[in-house]
A = this chain, B = another copy of it.
Amino acid sequence: MRIVTLAAAQMGAIQRSDSRKQVVARMLDLMDQAKAKGATMIVYPELALTTFFPRWYMEDQAEVDSWFEREMPNADTLPLFERAKSYGMAMNLGYAELTPEGRHFNTAILVDRSGRIVGKYRKTHLPGHSEFDPERAFQHLEKRYFEPGDTGFPVWRMDGGLFGMAICNDRRWPETYRVMGLQGVEMVVLGYNTPSVNSQKADEGPEKRLFHNRLSVQAGAYQNACWVVAVAKSGVEDGFPMIGGSLIVNPDGEIVAEAKTEEDELLVHACDLDDTVFGKSTIFDFKRHRRIEHYSRITDQVGVVLPPE
């Protein structure tokens, strides 16, 4: 047995006017709760420090940049790092990253139980659009404010296990999990901000959005025989509702814990990384069963190529 006592730290709404300091205080409270329940790792959502700002159309770059972190940790987030280290708790945290070169990414980091940053991941699959779209019920401007990530999907050795990261829309893409599965990943951690209604289809509401969240995460876990934890920022931010539904899914694809609210809410589950062994050595023993000679379209073409008429 190799147990990670995992805390999924769902966060409720963060209003546009909330400061990083206020948010970090909530995150510290979740961390204290996690410690009380014996957690050895805590996972926070995507863009955990601010409201989900890509819903706002901005033209002033200084205003855009105000949502980004220029270093990590920084003065506002240092208390998270210090407390996690003092608790011996690994941590995953999503934030908007502005690099010294002026590049913008939707980023997450992995911090081990000793407080060392062991990995950085930059979101690959940016959803939404880059220009103001008057046909949408609301904007989703991730393609405006971020570049696509340049990290790919690495897997890191940490605290005796194999960990990978993804962010939000990445979870809907089977390539995300498979690239990590091919590196033996035992646990994928990811955060998300998902509007409760499809901005382009009013009759696609929260029930279907929660269903797609579960379906994507469960399939990724099962098909790669790994744990997946998906953690929401949820609730109503300045009038815009987002789903909760944070999940911990085992390597059989089964939900072992699921959030019930759209508030700050902690899920804790003892995840045995050795539960990945059976699937990885039988039905999903890739080396015996995969047939890459028939997969070439997956990496040869980006979009659809229809068969000849």
Contact = CB atoms under 8 A, between A and B. Distances in A.
A257 interface: no
Interface in A242-295: 252-254, 278, 280, 282-295
A113 interface: no
Contacts of A298: 175, 178-179, 182, 292, 295, 298-299
Interface in A99-125: 124-125
Interface stretch (A73-81, A86-94, A218-226): A218-226
Interface in A146-181: 148-149, 152-157, 162, 169, 172-175, 178-179, 181
A297 B287 CA distance: 13
Contact of A216 (B152, B169, B222): B222
Contacts of A182: 297-298, 301, 303-305
Interface residues of A, number: 67
Contacts of A305: 182-184
A1 interface: no
A305 to B, nearest CB: 6
Contacts of A296: 299
B282 A302 contact: no
A215 B184 contact: no
A192 B125 CA distance: 33
A305 B181 CA distance: 9
A281 to B, nearest CB: 9
A205 interface: no
B286 A303 contact: yes
B162 A306 contact: yes
Contacts of A304: 181-184, 280, 286-287
Nearest to A278: B201
A211 B175 CA distance: 22
Given A162-B306, A208-B252, A292-B298, 6 more contacts: A126-B289, A154-B307, A169-B283, A174-B223, A286-B302, A288-B303
19 contacts: A126-B289, A152-B293, A152-B294, A156-B307, A169-B283, A169-B289, A172-B284, A173-B223, A174-B223, A175-B290, A178-B298, A179-B294, A182-B297, A211-B253, A286-B303, A287-B303, A288-B303, A292-B299, A295-B298
